[in-house]
């Protein structure tokens, strides 16, 4: 997975096939190649990544977390293509979460619905409103634009697991790309989170839980994903979440982009560093139990989603935000909405990444 | 005098305040058994002046002019004590600088090495006074030397500038009180056993062969270390002190991560790095650059700015990124270093145990030595021939193909870490041969040792099934 240095020279032909005129400079290696070779090398790298890491087994049902954005759209396209070409024997599904953000998610869901037809993949949409009784619009109305991403992130993780359980899939794949993972490595260093630092580069997480998650784009550069979507004229939705601005992540992302400009290979090097860090195996995660209220996996009495939801329903939305751990309040279990979705659902956290 | 609280973070309230020199106005402070502070009979009354030192609650804090942070809330003496305390903690906890040592301080005339020199000097001064006062003269005083690496050959600085720096260093040393410290001026080209002009020329050609700016900077740092080691070995020094501070280490953590050196990173950021012939010590590891500069300013320690010139490429980018983060949160550098501090160090990250009764006596009189945790049961590491960083299994796997005893440019390249291969070694084999021919002797001999070590390991793997013991001698 190492980026070779670009070959300089006056060759006016694609540096791979030496037949056609180069159409682009490959972001990962700066090689000048033609469009066909770019498709080949892009798809082959993902195929090799899948095979080398044994991400799937024949006959498995696999849900693709689909937001309608570029990463998940390209993932859905490439995965269904590879599944056909290399005969993986997978049953693929699209799984979307409707957070209830007017002007953002409703539009992007339209894209996913078109993808459903274009790629012939069955789609399942799970909404916050159905699962929790609240849309993000309602939550933001109540708590404002601070901390809203905490709610959305916690709810989404659980919603994905519940949706995957409804589809009865064996695995969930997400469109996290190399840039995302490099960024997470840096963020975990900056915040001193050694436990997450040790896990955030694993390609598959939650293998001991019922629904493992994996990231086939672990070594795929964001720029190449955009390039692929552009040349293939894939139908995707490219608007930022209207509630999303997050300065902290922004810093790190910008830093990665600057690094990439100086040395494209830096992204892969950060991932390599993350994989090779000498972290004592004794750095353990808290013991996993199940939430007493909804049955979701949790290290505390109640899972984070239930704590947050309880706060919302009681009109105390600050509850559960910040550093306080756990929830020792027993009396408040009465007026909560009963959640839909199967109670036996369990999943394991996959790190800090947002879907 | 101790604040008595285990949670105290000031770093200055460990139990050797009596060893803090240069504090003429020590207030009459007493401490009650429960840890609260009595100042001249006043019972902890809240200071009416908000700008009062949070530790001694007597003098004005230095704050204000120097911006936020804890250092601004101390008075001059307490701030000084806290910084010296961090230095003393690293010295005592790792058992560095014991009485029988001869310590070489790497001095660039910048703030960090200036403070390192000052603290080592004060320690020596104190030890000297104790020696004079003690009846049995049982503990000798450790020796101190100072080395300046003149990199003008590599950086194309006019010779007037480096002459000025050398004059400055001589002045600094002559201003320090006895015992006298020997000064070594080591031109970088002295790593070649050639006459200076030829050495300069060869060094220039070697550096010119490196295309990548970041690679060139990093390689220059390796060469500087070689040069320091050479001076230390030739003059019989037993320890080498660097002025590397928290801020520098924080930047190194990120640059190493970005260059894919995550595996070897913990080797570089501990108090002790004994993979070199003369162990390298970083006693200022817990001090921030901001604090160090502040101390220089308060104590009137003269420094020279940027003798080494500005950085570029990845190193500069990381540096400005960390500065940006530091602005947003003043403790960010500490957090970065703390995270990296949780990575497992290597077996060479502590001083080798020497059976020296004097050292034992000294350590009995000092605080308890902390034992650094490292995985002792892993086999000895193999090291990159170029930068001497421990190799990860994925890097050293390519070594197997070169099992011949004869070293070549190709086998040398294969024994380097992937980061050096990418950013330092030339691409094509012709330039690689040239580059290889220009390498100084210390690198070549280290590569030869590395090579024979790998050969030994390969041979061992072949006969593994027939060996009855895991130890090297088969006993």
Higher pLDDT, B178 or B292: B292
Asked whether residue A296 falls in the same domain as residue A273, the answer is no
Domain range spanning residue B407? 393-460
Q: Which of B22-26, B168-172, B249-253, B263-267 has the lowest mean pLDDT?
A: B22-26
Asked whether residue A225 falls in the same domain as residue A312, the answer is no
User: Which of A2, A9, A192, A265 to mutate to test binding with chain B, by most B CBs within 10 Å of its CB?
Assistant: A192
Burial class (CB in 10 A: 0-12, 13-18, 19+), A145: exposed
Please tell me the predicted confidence (pLDDT) of residue A246: 54
Asked whether residue B421 falls in the same domain as residue B323, the answer is no
Please tell me the predicted confidence (pLDDT) of residue B304: 82
Asked whether residue B159 falls in the same domain as residue B294, the answer is yes
Three-state secondary structure call for residue A235: coil
User: Which of A182, A184, A272 to mutate to test binding with chain B, by most B CBs within 10 Å of its CB?
Assistant: A272
CATH number at residue B163: 3.40.50.620
**Residue ranges at the known binding site of A for ATP:** 65-67, 71, 97, 175, 180
Burial class (CB in 10 A: 0-12, 13-18, 19+), B301: middle
Return the structure tokens found at A182: 């490099």
- Chain A residues whose beta carbon lies within 8 Å of the beta carbon of residue B419: 269
Number of domains comprising chain A: 2
Out of B164-178, B180-194, B270-284, give the one with best mean pLDDT.
B270-284
pLDDT of B28 above 70: no
pLDDT of A285 above 80: no
Asked whether residue B248 falls in the same domain as residue B124, the answer is yes
Closest in B254, B262, B324 to A274, CB measured: B262
**A to B CB pairs, distance under 8 Å:** 93
Asked whether residue B112 falls in the same domain as residue B193, the answer is yes
Please tell me what DSSP assigns to residue B60. B
Asked whether residue B168 falls in the same domain as residue B302, the answer is yes
Nearest to B241 by CA among B87, B43, B412: B87
Contact between A321 and A142 (Cβ < 8 Å): no
pLDDT tens-digit profile of A40-53? 999 999 999 999 99
pLDDT of B16 above 70: no
Question: Does some domain include residue B332?
Answer: yes
Asked whether residue A278 falls in the same domain as residue A216, the answer is yes
Please tell me the predicted confidence (pLDDT) of residue B230: 92
Asked whether residue A100 falls in the same domain as residue A232, the answer is yes
Whole-number percent of chain A with pLDDT over 90: 48
Please tell me the predicted confidence (pLDDT) of residue A339: 33
pLDDT of A306 above 50: yes
Please tell me the predicted confidence (pLDDT) of residue A124: 93
Question: What average pLDDT does the structure give for chain A?
Answer: 82
- Chain B residues whose beta carbon lies within 8 Å of the beta carbon of residue A272: 260, 262, 418
Please tell me the predicted confidence (pLDDT) of residue B475: 40
Asked whether residue A315 falls in the same domain as residue A227, the answer is no
A115 min Cα distance to partner chain B (Å):
37
Asked whether residue B299 falls in the same domain as residue B179, the answer is yes
Question: Does some domain include residue B298?
Answer: yes
Query: What's the complex ipTM?
Result: 0.82
Confidence of residue B380 (pLDDT cuts 50, 70, 90): low
Asked whether residue A202 falls in the same domain as residue A293, the answer is no
Asked whether residue B421 falls in the same domain as residue B281, the answer is no
Please tell me the predicted confidence (pLDDT) of residue B61: 74
Closest in A193, A258, A269 to B260, CB measured: A269
Please tell me the predicted confidence (pLDDT) of residue B160: 79
Question: Does some domain include residue B9?
Answer: no
Asked whether residue A85 falls in the same domain as residue A158, the answer is yes
Question: Does some domain include residue B244?
Answer: yes
Higher pLDDT, A191 or A351: A191
A190 min Cα distance to partner chain B (Å):
5
Question: What average pLDDT does the structure give for chain B?
Answer: 78
If you search the block for the tokens 């560093």, which residue do you land on?
A: A273
Contact between A112 and A123 (Cβ < 8 Å): yes
Asked whether residue A321 falls in the same domain as residue A267, the answer is no
Among B370, B405, B432, the domain boundary falls at: B370
Please tell me the predicted confidence (pLDDT) of residue A95: 94
Q: Which residues contact A262 (CB under 8 A, 6 or more apart)?
A: B214, B313, B314, B317
Is A270 close to B258, i.e. CB distance below 8 A? yes
pLDDT tens-digit profile of B62-92? 764 544 455 667 888 888 888 899 998 888 8
Question: Does some domain include residue B227?
Answer: yes
Which stretches of chain A are assigned E, i.e. beta strand?
24-25, 32-33, 61-65, 91-98, 123-127, 171-173, 204-205, 213-214, 289-290, 297-298
- Chain A residues whose beta carbon lies within 8 Å of the beta carbon of residue B332: 190
Domain range spanning residue A163? 43-238+245-282
pLDDT tens-digit profile of A66-122? 988 899 999 999 999 999 999 999 999 999 999 888 888 888 898 999 989 889 999
pLDDT tens-digit profile of B428-472? 888 888 888 888 888 888 877 776 766 676 677 777 777 776 655
pLDDT of B55 above 80: no
Segment B371-395 mean pLDDT: 72
pLDDT of A37 above 60: yes
Number of domains comprising chain B: 2
Is B324 close to A186, i.e. CB distance below 8 A? no
Asked whether residue B344 falls in the same domain as residue B420, the answer is no
Asked whether residue A303 falls in the same domain as residue A276, the answer is no
Please tell me the predicted confidence (pLDDT) of residue B67: 46
pLDDT of A325 above 50: no
pTM, two decimal places: 0.83
What are A's interface residues with B at a Cβ cutoff of 8 A? 2, 5, 185-186, 188-194, 197, 251, 255, 258-259, 262-263, 265-266, 268-270, 272-280, 283
Nearest to B175 by CA among B146, B199, B200, B149: B146
């Amino acid at each position: 997975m190492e980026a070779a240095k670009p070959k300089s020279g006056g060759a006016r032909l694609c540096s791979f096939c030496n037949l056609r005129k180069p159409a682009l400079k490959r972001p990962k290696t700066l090689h000048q190649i033609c469009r066909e070779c770019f498709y080949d090398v892009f798809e082959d790298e993902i195929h090799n990544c899948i095979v080398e890491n044994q991400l799937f087994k024949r006959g498995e049902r696999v849900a693709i977390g689909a937001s309608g954005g570029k990463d998940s759209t390209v993932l859905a396209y490439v995965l269904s293509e590879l599944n056909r070409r290399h005969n993986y024997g997978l049953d693929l599904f699209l799984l979307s979460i409707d957070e209830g953000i007017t002007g953002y998610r409703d539009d992007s869901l339209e894209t996913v619905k078109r993808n459903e037809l274009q790629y012939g993949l069955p789609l399942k949409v799970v909404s916050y409103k159905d699962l929790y009784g609240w849309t993000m619009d309602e939550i933001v109305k109540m708590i404002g634009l601070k901390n809203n991403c905490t709610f959305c992130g916690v709810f989404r993780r659980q919603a994905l697991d519940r949706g995957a359980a409804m589809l009865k899939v064996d695995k969930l794949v997400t469109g996290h790309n190399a840039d995302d993972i490099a960024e997470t490595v840096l963020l975990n260093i900056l915040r001193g989170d050694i436990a997450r630092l040790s896990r955030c580069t694993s390609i598959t997480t939650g293998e001991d839980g019922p629904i493992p998650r994996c990231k086939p784009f672990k070594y795929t550069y964001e720029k190449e994903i955009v390039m692929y979507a552009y040349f293939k004229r894939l139908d995707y939705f490219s608007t930022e979440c209207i509630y999303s601005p997050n300065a902290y992540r922004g810093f790190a992302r910008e830093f990665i982009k600057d690094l990439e400009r100086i040395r494209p290979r830096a992204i892969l090097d950060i991932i390599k560093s993350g994989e090779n860090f000498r972290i004592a195996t004794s750095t353990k995660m808290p013991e996993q139990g199940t939430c007493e209220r909804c049955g979701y996996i949790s290290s505390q009495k109640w899972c984070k989603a239930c704590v947050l939801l309880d706060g919302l329903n009681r009109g105390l939305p600050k509850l559960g935000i910040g550093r306080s751990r756990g929830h020792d309040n027993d009396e408040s279990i009465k007026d909560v909405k009963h959640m839909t979705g199967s109670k036996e659902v369990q999943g394991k956290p996959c790190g800090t990444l947002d879907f | 005098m101790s604040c008595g609280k285990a949670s105290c973070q000031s770093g200055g309230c460990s139990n050797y305040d009596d060893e803090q020199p240069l504090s003429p106005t020590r207030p009459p402070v007493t401490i009650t058994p429960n840890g609260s502070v009595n100042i001249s009979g006043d019972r902890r009354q809240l200071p009416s002046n908000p700008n009062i030192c949070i530790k001694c609650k007597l003098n004005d804090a230095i704050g204000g002019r120097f911006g936020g942070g804890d250092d601004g809330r101390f008075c001059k003496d307490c701030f000084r004590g806290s910084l010296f305390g961090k230095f003393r903690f690293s010295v005592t906890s790792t058992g560095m600088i014991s009485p029988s040592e001869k310590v070489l301080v790497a001095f660039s005339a910048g703030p960090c090495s200036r403070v390192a020199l000052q603290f080592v000097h004060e320690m020596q001064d104190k030890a000297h006074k104790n020696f004079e006062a003690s009846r049995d003269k049982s503990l000798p005083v450790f020796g101190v030397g100072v080395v300046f690496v003149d990199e003008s050959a590599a950086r194309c600085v006019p010779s007037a500038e480096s002459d000025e720096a050398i004059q400055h260093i001589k002045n600094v040393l002559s201003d320090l009180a006895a015992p006298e410290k020997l000064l070594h001026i080591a031109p970088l080209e002295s790593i070649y056993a050639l006459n200076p002009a030829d050495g300069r020329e060869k060094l220039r050609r070697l550096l010119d062969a490196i295309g990548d700016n970041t690679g060139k900077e990093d390689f220059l740092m390796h060469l500087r270390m070689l040069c320091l080691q050479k001076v230390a070995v030739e003059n019989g020094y037993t320890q080498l002190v660097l002025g590397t501070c928290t801020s520098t280490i924080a930047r190194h953590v990120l640059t190493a991560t970005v260059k894919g050196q995550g595996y070897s990173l913990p080797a570089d950021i501990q108090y002790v790095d004994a993979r070199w012939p003369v162990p390298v010590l970083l006693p200022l590891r817990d001090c921030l650059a901001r604090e160090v500069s502040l101390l220089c300013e308060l104590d009137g320690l003269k420094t020279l700015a940027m003798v080494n010139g500005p950085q570029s490429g990845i190193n500069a980018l990381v540096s400005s990124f960390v500065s940006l983060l530091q602005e947003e949160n003043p403790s960010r550098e500490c957090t970065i270093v703390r995270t990296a501090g949780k990575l497992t160090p290597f077996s060479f990250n502590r001083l080798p145990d020497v059976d020296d009764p004097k050292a034992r006596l000294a350590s009995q009189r000092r605080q308890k030595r902390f034992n650094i945790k490292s995985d002792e049961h892993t086999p000895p590491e193999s090291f990159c021939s170029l930068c001497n960083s421990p190799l990860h299994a994925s890097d050293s796997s390519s070594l197997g193909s070169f099992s011949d005893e004869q070293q070549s440019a190709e086998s040398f390249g294969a024994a380097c870490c992937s980061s050096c291969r990418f950013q330092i070694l030339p691409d094509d084999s012709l330039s690689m041969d040239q580059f290889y021919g220009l390498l100084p002797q210390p690198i070549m001999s280290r590569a030869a040792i590395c090579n024979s070590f790998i050969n030994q390991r390969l041979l061992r793997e072949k006969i593994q099934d027939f060996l009855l013991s895991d130890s090297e001698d088969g006993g």
